[in-house]
Structure formats: structure tokens, C-alpha cells
Amino acid sequence: MFLALVVLFLPVFDFFALGVAAPVVQHDLTGGSRGAELVPASFSFGYAAGLLAGGVLGDRFGARRLIAAGACGYLAACVVCASAPTAAVLLGGRLVQGVSAAAMVAQGFVLIWRGGSRAYPLMAATLGAAAACGQLLGGLPVGWRWLFLVEIAVGLLIVCRLPDGGPVAGNRVDAAGVVLGVLLPLSVLGPLAWLRLAGGTAWVLAAAIAVVPLGWGYHRRLRVMAGRRRRLVFAGWRPLLAAAGTGGVYAGQAVLILVVSLRPDPPGLFFYGVSFALVSLMGPRLPSRSWVAGPALAGAGLALLYASADPRIPLVLCGAAMGLTLPALTAAALAGSAPGAVSRAAGTLATMQQFAAAAALTAVGLLLDHGRI
């Protein structure tokens, strides 16, 4: 359980800490602030690209081996980033960080699934705490390179806490499935990132049509790996809807981050992270259906944040909505994974979250650019 929580803590901490420190990083390495968004974006790109492949490999090699490989790659990338002399070296290291984190996170969800119902509130509380810690440490005026030293310490903790090797599936590695698992998210997230970061026109989204043949090919490879089993990833439509619901939750979080960043004096997301963590821990003591109030609470928080001068109460409301909703939906999605496909289900779950967040950021960004909202 502890290992799973540390694994899931790391990428969220990185996203929020380096998101805060990105302008300082870019200024130190290039002398200007232009392109600062590439610091967190390069990590997110590698992270999204590796989730499906990490799920496929996790079902073949087991959680321990994938976490060990991901932790070693992450540690090496942190060393590169901490000593990066140029922006290009830093962005390359961030890309490797993202891919390595993806290999670990899919397996972290598997360990959470093994922990049973009590694990999901702890998981969500850890994500909220990671957001709050990232906001605090990323904003400290002591230089940005030390943030990677913090991540190295966390990575070493992961290596030291690796469990004994578990059972490993006997089927061979499906190289085609792994490649398609990387290309499939890139076919959507690549055009979205280009549109959002490079200021391209909407026709760039036409490139996402490649998702159709890639998705068909990935589905065919899953059929081959599943053999005679009818269910490939999720064992029904309810866990699939729950996984899609977590995507909606992450889309709301992405919009929240965007709206906060547009304020004249961005307040940071510390109150959001603290509320997220506390409400997640309170979840087992709340009525079992309380999670249905999450979307309304999130909508009220976003509307109030957009209109209010004081961001603290809206951030608390949005964090509470995340703490109510995410544990319940994640539990429903992973509990409904197909037999022998928990790691693939976890990778698919996390990929859907990345898809939804990227699409929401792009759509709201375009509406803001054209003065529609």
C-alpha cells in the first residue's frame, strides 16, 4: 500500500511543482519566459504516451518489474534534469521522466486495487497532498534544481520499498500492441498539444483522424492477447462509464488550473490540494452516495472562481468535489476490470484522464482566445 501511494504521489507532485517553477526554469536556461509551458508539457506528453504500453507490459511482467524499471528510468532522468545545462537537455529529461512515471503509475493503480476499498480514499488523499506539496515547494525561492533532488529521494524510496516478485503471465510480449499503445494516445494528444502550445489553427486537429486505424489496430491486438476471453479491458459498461467519469473529473481539474493561471495574481492551488486530501480521507465516513454531489460542487466552484475576487472558497469547493468523486469512480472502474487485465485497465483509466484533460484545456483555451467566454 505504501509503495502504491508513493508511486502515485510522484507524478502529481512533479506536475504541480514544476508547473509553478516553469517560468523561473525557462528564464534561467534561455534568458526569457517564452515557452515556459513546455516544462510541464514535455513531462505530460511522455506520461500520456506510456500509460497504455505500461498497462500491457504490466500484465506481462508484473507490477514489481515495471515499477523497478520505471523508478530506475525516473532516477536517471531526474539526474539529467537537475544538471541540465540547456533547455533542450531539460526537455529531453522531462520526456523520459514522463514515460518512466507512466510505467510506474499503471502498476500503482494495480497495487491500489489489491488493497481493497480502504485504499481508494488514501489514494485520493495522496494525490491531493501531492498537489499541495508541489504548490508549496515549487514556489520556494531557493532555485528549481533542488526540486529534482526531492524527486530523486522519493525515487530511491520507491526502489527500497519494492515488493517481492509476483506471478507473471506466461504469454510473450506483444510488441505490436506496445507500439500501438504508444501511438494511439499520441495521435490525439499530439495535435491537441500543437494547437494549444504552438498557436496552430484548428485544422491541425484533422491529424487526429489517425486515432481511428490506430484504435482499431490496438483493439485487434487486445483480442489476440485476451484469447478466448470476451472482455478485453473492462468487464462491462459500468466500469467503462466510471473510467470515463474520472476523465470528466480530470477535465474539470484542467479547466480549474487554466482559470487560476489567467487571474492577474494567480493564487496557486494549495487550498485546492488540502481540501482534496481532507475530503478524500473523510469519504469512508460520508454516505455511500455522497459522490454524486461532486459534479455540482465542482461546477459551483468553477463558476465562483471565475466571478469572485477571492479564490480560496472556490478552490476549497473544487478540491472537495475531487475528493468526493475520484475515489468512488476509480474504485468502480478498477473493480470492473476484466480477468487478467487489471494493469491494462489501469493504463486505460489513466489515459482516458489525460485525453479528457488535454481536450478540455484545448477547448477552453480556444474559446478564451476567441472571446467566447
Where helices occur in 286-341 by DSSP H, the ranges are: 294-307, 312-335
pLDDT for 153 equals 92
Separation CA 157–CA 328 (nearest Å): 28
Q: Are 276 and 124 in contact (CB under 8 A)?
A: yes
Sign of CA dihedral 170, 172, 177, 183: positive
Closest Cα to residue 141, out of 261, 274, 24? 24
Which residues of the chain fall short of a pLDDT of 50? Answer: 167
Give the residue numbers spanning the domain of 70. 2-369
CATH number of the domain that 149 lies in?
A: 1.20.1250.20
pLDDT for 356 equals 83
**Span between the terminal Cα atoms of the chain, in Å:** 43
Residues 6 or more apart from 343 whose CB is under 8 A from it?
54, 55, 56, 57, 58, 59, 63, 66, 106, 107, 110
Closest Cα to residue 173, out of 60, 51, 254, 23? 60
Number of structural domains, the chain? Answer: 1
**Coil, helix or strand for 300?**
helix
pLDDT for 125 equals 92
DSSP 1: -
Separation CA 30–CA 44 (nearest Å): 21
Q: Are 279 and 330 in contact (CB under 8 A)?
A: no
Residue 198 is placed in which grid cell? Answer: 504552438
Q: Are 55 and 343 in contact (CB under 8 A)?
A: yes
Separation CA 6–CA 62 (nearest Å): 18
pLDDT for 294 equals 85
